[in-house]
């Protein structure tokens, strides 16, 4: 599976939007982009995923670059509960495995 | 959320002893996974299963074996525990097809002394 590159850490003020970037320059045309997050002392949980078009759900939005070589997870209004490690993962269309990197550790400042 | 439980949640054992961790799911998902998580490494896949009695190795499988005799249970065994296997172990289940996702259990903290 293609690799992703994320910043090790980011900070955000509470109630402000957060943009978490992910680079995946070797992505192939059929790779899905998945985002998971891991709250302290918990297992990872699903956030959002997409293929080509931007996606929205109740937790976040996913903005995918036109060339698909990068994507951005957008938390519209950060809360203290959003402090977590966020993982950007690529999965082939027929794949059934995730390869987690080290993710981005998000700190939310009150 | 998928019903995934892990047992035990915490375990301390001595070097050289066998250890078995259990993962149980109630969602009838086809795929099941065992990961370990260590500081600075994120989650790394140990073994996974794509059906009853069908398993395969992940990226860090040495020293571990798995078994899946029923859809709902996936066992991870450390035949002879070593201190390097001190870690937090997560079980996950996976759906299939284009809507593929993984769902994670709460984790088991294993300490090998």
3-state secondary structure A34-50: EEEEECCCCCCEEEEEE
As a whole number of angstroms, the distance between CA B8 and CA A92 comes to 33
Tell whether the model's pLDDT for residue A93 goes beyond 80.
Answer: no
CB contact under 8 A, A46 and B102: yes
* Chain B CB contacts of A34 below 8 Å: 101
DSSP class of residue B71 equals T
Nearest Cα of chain B lies from the Cα of A9 at a distance, in angstroms, of: 13
**Token pair in block for residue A2:** 């293609």
pLDDT, tens digit, 9 for 90 and up, residues B16-63: 999 999 999 999 999 999 999 998 888 999 999 999 999 999 999 999
The verdict on A98 touching B (C-beta cutoff 8 Å) is: yes
Residues of B in contact with A98 (CB under 8 A): 45, 102
Overall average pLDDT of the A63-91 stretch: 95
**pLDDT, mean of residues A88-102:** 83
CB–CB contact A101 B90 (8 Å): no
Q: Which token pair is B91? A: 């079980």
């Amino acid at each position: 599976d293609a690799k992703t590159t994320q910043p090790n850490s980011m900070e955000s003020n509470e109630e402000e939007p957060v943009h978490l970037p992910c680079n995946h320059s070797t992505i192939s045309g059929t790779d899905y982009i998945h985002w998971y997050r891991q709250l302290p002392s918990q297992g990872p949980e699903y956030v959002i995923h997409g293929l080509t078009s931007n996606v929205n759900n109740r937790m976040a939005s996913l903005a995918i670059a036109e060339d698909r070589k990068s994507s951005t997870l957008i938390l519209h209004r950060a809360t203290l509960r959003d402090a977590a490690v966020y993982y950007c993962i690529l999965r082939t269309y027929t794949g059934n495995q995730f390869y987690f990197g080290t993710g981005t550790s998000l700190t939310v400042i009150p | 959320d998928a019903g995934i439980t892990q047992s035990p949640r915490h375990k301390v054992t001595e070097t050289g002893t066998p250890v078995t961790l259990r993962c149980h799911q109630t969602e009838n998902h086809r795929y099941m996974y065992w990961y370990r998580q260590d500081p600075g490494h994120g989650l790394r896949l140990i073994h996974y299963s794509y059906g009853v009695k069908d398993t395969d190795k992940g990226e860090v499988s040495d020293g571990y074996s798995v078994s899946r005799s029923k859809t709902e249970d996936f066992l991870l065994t450390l035949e002879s525990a070593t201190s390097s296997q001190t870690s937090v172990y997560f079980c996950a289940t996976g759906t299939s097809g284009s809507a593929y996702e993984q769902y994670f259990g709460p984790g088991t903290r294993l300490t090998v002394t």
